[in-house]
Amino acid sequence: MNTQDKKPPLLFSTTFMFAATALVSLIVVPWYGFTHGYSAAAWGLFALFWLLNGLSITAGYHRLWAHSTYKAHPALSWFLAIWGAQTLQNSILVWSAQHRNHHKYVDQNDKDPYSAGKGLWYSHIGWMLRDYPSGETDFNNVPDLKRDPIVMWQHRWYWPLTAFMNIGAPMLLGWALGEFWGIVLLAGVLRLFVAHHLTFFINSLAHFWGKQTYTEKNSARDNWMLALLTWGEGYHNFHHLFQSDYRNGIRWWQYDLTKWFINICRVTGLASGLRRVPKFRILRARLTMEFIRAQRKVEDSPLDQNWKTLIEQEYLQFKSTIQEWQELQAERANEVSEKLISRWQKTAFHTHVKELEYRLKMQRRRLALISVSLVK
């Protein structure tokens, strides 16, 4: 066998952990349920731990630490760090370092730790089962987190903390509530198995299944069904293009439990500095993709020249709006740098931006009508 084709060595501890939780969850948990039954307390602790694990990863590891999309009060940071240890997905420092590399090198098989280009199994769990070079942790990309005392405390005490949260806490609660094995199996093992694989869906399924609403430059997809299972992380195409935004589901009707949780924390004073991508940039990205798809329909169909001309005219208007917005941003930046901006200028700037946003919205509607006509 060629040495280049030889697989890296198996990581036995990681492989054993995933195999053990899967076997116990799929065999022992149902068997115990049929023979002994589970109490409402056991199911309640399973749901509570699952919820807190999910939010600790999405609101904590992901949106707070990996992407710095908002600032957290120390009380919230401690809460997310401690419950994040129960997810058994490594420390904040390691998780964030790998995730930042994923965004930086997305779909590059030799550098993206869980590249979708290597297949569904690899991006879901395979990348953690062997000592792949792309999975090596680069701490040079997390200098800000190295300065965070809570992150470094969790990193230093990660293994004792995760052992207590995953083994000690379920055992103590099981003993205290008089249902030792029921609570250990549901709140301990099954919760870990479910939380793991739902999180891994974002690395795997969210790069294979769904719509590329905002960009085709990477494999990430938007999928509302995955959002339901992952506390809002399923709007992954948006996230990969606008990773600095604290939201993944930007529309009011899009399920993004993590966004709502962060907003509740903001209202209660536990979160601040929530970052949002300007609406115009989002509209520009979405409309760019719609023009690309309309152009493909034109190329694949023997259409009347009038339709082609209409799309070309709409695209020229789109480019004109984008150029006007860029000039407006440059003018604004110059005024701010020279400290010449007044309250009237601020108002005029925001009014102009709103007008440009409205122009893009109306153009999206026109393009949608054209696309419908092309299908007919």
| Token pair belonging to 266 | 């903001």
Distance (Å, whole) CA 74 – CA 268: 13
| Angle, in degrees to the nearest 10, between helices 40-55 and 257-267 | 80
Q: Give the pLDDT score at 372.
A: 62
Query: How high is the pLDDT of residue 3?
Result: 46
Residue pLDDT tens, the chain, 376 long: 444 557 889 999 999 999 999 999 999 999 999 999 999 999 999 999 999 999 999 999 999 999 999 999 999 999 999 999 999 999 999 999 999 999 999 999 999 999 999 999 999 999 999 999 988 898 999 999 999 999 999 999 999 999 999 999 999 999 999 999 999 999 999 999 999 999 999 999 999 999 999 999 999 999 999 999 999 999 999 999 999 999 999 998 999 999 999 999 999 999 999 999 999 899 999 988 988 888 777 776 665 666 677 777 777 888 888 887 787 777 777 766 555 555 556 666 677 777 777 777 777 777 777 666 665 5
Residue 305, pLDDT score: 65
Contacts of 87 by beta carbon, 8 Å cutoff, 6+ apart: 53, 56, 57, 61, 192, 195, 196, 199
Q: Could you identify the residue written with the tokens 């407006």? A: 328
Q: What is the pLDDT of residue 195?
A: 96
Q: What angle do CA 119, 286, 96 make, to 5 degrees?
A: 50
Q: What is the pLDDT of residue 206?
A: 97
Contact between 246 and 70 (Cβ < 8 Å)? yes
Distances (CA, A) of 220 to 40, 66, 294: 38, 17, 21
Strand residue runs (E) in 177-251: none
pLDDT value for 374? 60
Per-residue pLDDT, 122: 96
Cross-strand partners of 271: 72
pLDDT of residue 326: 80
User: At which residue do the structure tokens 């901006």 appear?
Assistant: 341
Q: In the prediction, which pLDDT does 365 show?
A: 77
* pTM score of the predicted model: 0.88
CB contact set of 124 (below 8 Å; sequence gap of 6+): 197, 200, 201, 203, 204, 205
Pick left, alpha or beta for residue 88 (phi over 0 → left; psi -120 to 50 → alpha; otherwise beta).
left
Q: Quick one: tokens of 15?
A: 């492989």
Distance CA 132, CA 101 (A): 14
